[in-house]
Structures are given as structure tokens and as C-alpha cells.
Amino acid sequence: MASLASHSAPCPTSDAVATERRRGRAATINPSGRFETHQRVDLDDGWGILDDLPPFRTAIVHEKPRTLIARNDSPDIAFERSINPYRGCEHGCVYCFARPSHAYLGLSPGLDFESRLFVKDGAAEALRRELSAPGYQPKVLAIGTNTDPYQPIEREHRVLRRILEVLFETGHPVAIVTKSALVLRDLDLLAPMAEKGLVKVALSVTTLDRELARAMEPRATTPSRRLEAIEKLSHAGVPTAVMVAPVIPGVTDHEIETILARAHAHGAREAGYILLRLPLETRDLFANWLLEHFPGKYHKVLALLRSTREGKLYDSAWGRRMTGTGPYAWMIGRRFEMASERLGFGKTKIRLRTDLFKPPERGERQLSLF
């Protein structure tokens, strides 16, 4: 798949995985990763072998990270440090820009990404070590910028819960992005952190259409429950934002104003948006999903996307990748800005505090000679 990024035409394929095998999943295909030397496809040879293949059930791999905090210097990203408790995401959002990262694990960015998940055991201990390092200077940690920290497996594995306990204990600021109402489980930590100016939470709402949401992001919390989560977080004093993301031209862009209005009515006071991003394998995954669910809109949606990416389906250039360019992208941006201003979003921007940080005691301290 070396040519994946070299041309602009998506590659719809007839190699769709049987519906029964992928029930409850968004991706329709499971192509081999771009680093694999061989491409594997399911081929019906007439002996009925495909009928006996198992469904894509969630499988967990445990890994122990040596470090947890990732750093970036991208000029169009508002954070410098982030944490990802999991690799892969059971929410299965078909448009997820993090899907191509599964190729680094020798797995498919398709169905593997939503069913073969990696849990970072000992993440809280690794974080404690990093925070206790000599000279560590606190900056806001962003959680949920890659895969969702509150995806379903968090109920059992509680990796994020333990991370939050460390941040609560040390007075470290954190910003969380999620599509899950499971965030309400941690109000006992988030509410007192919010009183000190140490946390904000953003709920991502792609659409208010429950059926569309089920098709695009099948295991994420329903849109109505995300709005309820915004309301409960806000009532508990937690600064709450809404992310209209991604905006999909021809599919969800007509909902921008409605999503903002509903989120504001439920207590969100900050808002942002991101235009659909389709890097690497995500492009073909989305094209195949679109062909299955919206065949009549297939060419229109891709044409609109190209109009926002200078004729391509993706542009990775800083400053353009989040919002696109051209008249259609400009219109989306202006609609978002005008609705936000009319509703009162962004009048006050919460800045989290870093002056309350107290490093944890180091696990192994040198004994005094005297």
C-alpha cells in the first residue's frame, strides 16, 4: 500500500467483510497495514470457508509502558503534552484519524483498530515516575486527543481512573476529550479539581441523529447522553466544552448550529470544530463506509471534501489540516463562528492553573549516610 498517499482517488473495494462478522463495528474492511510485506484478503474459493470465520470480537493485549507522557511541537495544536491510556478504540468511529497508527503494530487500521485493543498496565505508576523527575515543570496534560480514554474497556481496566487519581493527588492540570458519558463516573475527582482550576472536559458531538451516530461511531455513547453528560458536568462545576468534530461535508455539516445550540443549552461554554481529516488508510475506510451507507451521496461528499483540500482528500499541512481551505471550508468556519458568537460561546476561556502542582515522592530515594 505504498501508493496510499500518492494519489487522491479513494479505493472502494469489493473485499467487504461479511456483515455478520462485523456486526456492531463501523469499518467494513480490514486491509493489511501499510508496512506489511504481504496483503491478506478473504477470498471465497467455493468451499464455504468464509462462512466459518469468527466475528470480530474485542481482544485485549496488555503492555507495560516505560513512559506515558507524549510531547509534540505542532504549531496548530493547543497542547504540548498528552496521555493515551489505550491503543485502538472500541468506539470504532469510522472517520478516526488515529486509525493509521495501528499499522505500526502490524495490525489493520480497519476492523483490527476497533477490536484489537492495547491496555497500558501500570500507566499510573509510569506517570508518577515522570512527574517526580527532578526539574519536571507542569503543563496541561491533554487526554483523549488520539483514542478515547473512556472507551468501553475503561469500565473494567480503569487505566484513566488511576491516572486521574495521580493528577488529583499532585494538583496537576488536565484537559479531557471524550465521546462517552462514562466521564461522569469520575465526578468525585473532577469536581474538586475544577474548584481549583485544574480540569476542563470537552464532549465531542458529531451528529444529533442517533441512527447516523450508530453507523459512524457504533460503540460510543448516544448523542443525547453526551448532551446529558455536558449538563451534569456543568452543574457539578466542571468547565465543559463541545467539540463539533468532525464536520463531514454533505453528511453532518447541516447540524453545526443545532449541535452548538443544544450543547449551550446543556451548559457547555466553550466550543470548537474540526473538518473531517482522512490521513492514509482512513481515506479508503471512510470511502467504503460511505459507499455502503450513503451510496447516493458518495461522489458528492468526496467532491466537497476535495474542494476543501485543494483537490485532494487530505492535506497534512499545519494550519490547514484542521479547517481546510477554499469557499466551502470558509463557509463552514464562518457558520461556526457566527453561531458561537450568537450563543455566547467563548466569552470567557478557562485557563488551567499550574502553580498548585506538588510532585509525588519518588519511589526509590537514596538513603542518607548520616
The per-residue pLDDT for range 253-273, each reduced to its tens digit, is 999 999 999 999 999 999 999
Residue 156 has pLDDT above 90, yes or no: yes
CA distance 157 to 259: 32
Cα Rg of the chain (Å, integer): 21
Which residues contact residue 150 at a Cβ distance below 8 angstroms, ignoring those fewer than 6 apart?
144, 160, 178, 179, 180, 182, 183
Residue 4 has pLDDT above 50, yes or no: no
The per-residue pLDDT for range 35-80, each reduced to its tens digit, is 888 777 666 656 555 556 788 999 999 999 999 999 988 877 878 9
pLDDT value of position 48: 56
pLDDT value of position 54: 82
What would the mean pLDDT of 321-342 be, rounded to a whole number? 97
Residue 275 has pLDDT above 70, yes or no: yes
Domains and CATH numbers, the chain: 15-37+54-343 (3.80.30.30)
pLDDT value of position 22: 92
pLDDT value of position 11: 59
Name which residue leads in pLDDT, 43 or 19.
Answer: 19
Name which residue leads in pLDDT, 192 or 32.
Answer: 192
Residue 309 — pLDDT band, cuts 50, 70, 90?
very high
pLDDT value of position 79: 85
pLDDT value of position 366: 47
What average pLDDT does the chain have?
91
pLDDT value of position 2: 39
CA distance 168 to 36: 42
Which residues contact residue 103 at a Cβ distance below 8 angstroms, ignoring those fewer than 6 apart?
33, 34, 35, 36, 109, 280, 281
Which residues contact residue 137 at a Cβ distance below 8 angstroms, ignoring those fewer than 6 apart?
none
pLDDT value of position 49: 54
Which grid cell is 130?
Answer: 515522570
Residue 281 has pLDDT above 60, yes or no: yes
pLDDT value of position 327: 97
Least confident among 2-11, 155-164, 223-232: 2-11
pLDDT value of position 103: 95
The per-residue pLDDT for range 224-238, each reduced to its tens digit, is 999 999 999 999 999
pLDDT value of position 183: 98
Least confident among 17-31, 119-133, 148-162, 351-365: 351-365
- The pTM of the full predicted model, rounded to 2 decimals, is 0.90
CB 318 within 8 A of CB 74: yes
The per-residue pLDDT for range 110-131, each reduced to its tens digit, is 999 999 999 999 999 999 999 9
3-state secondary structure of 239: coil
pLDDT value of position 267: 97
pLDDT value of position 46: 63
What would the mean pLDDT of 26-33 be, rounded to a whole number? 92
pLDDT value of position 318: 87
CA distance 4 to 7: 7
State the burial class of residue 347 (Cβ atoms within 10 Å of its Cβ: 0-12, 13-18, 19+). exposed
Least confident among 24-38, 137-151, 297-311: 24-38
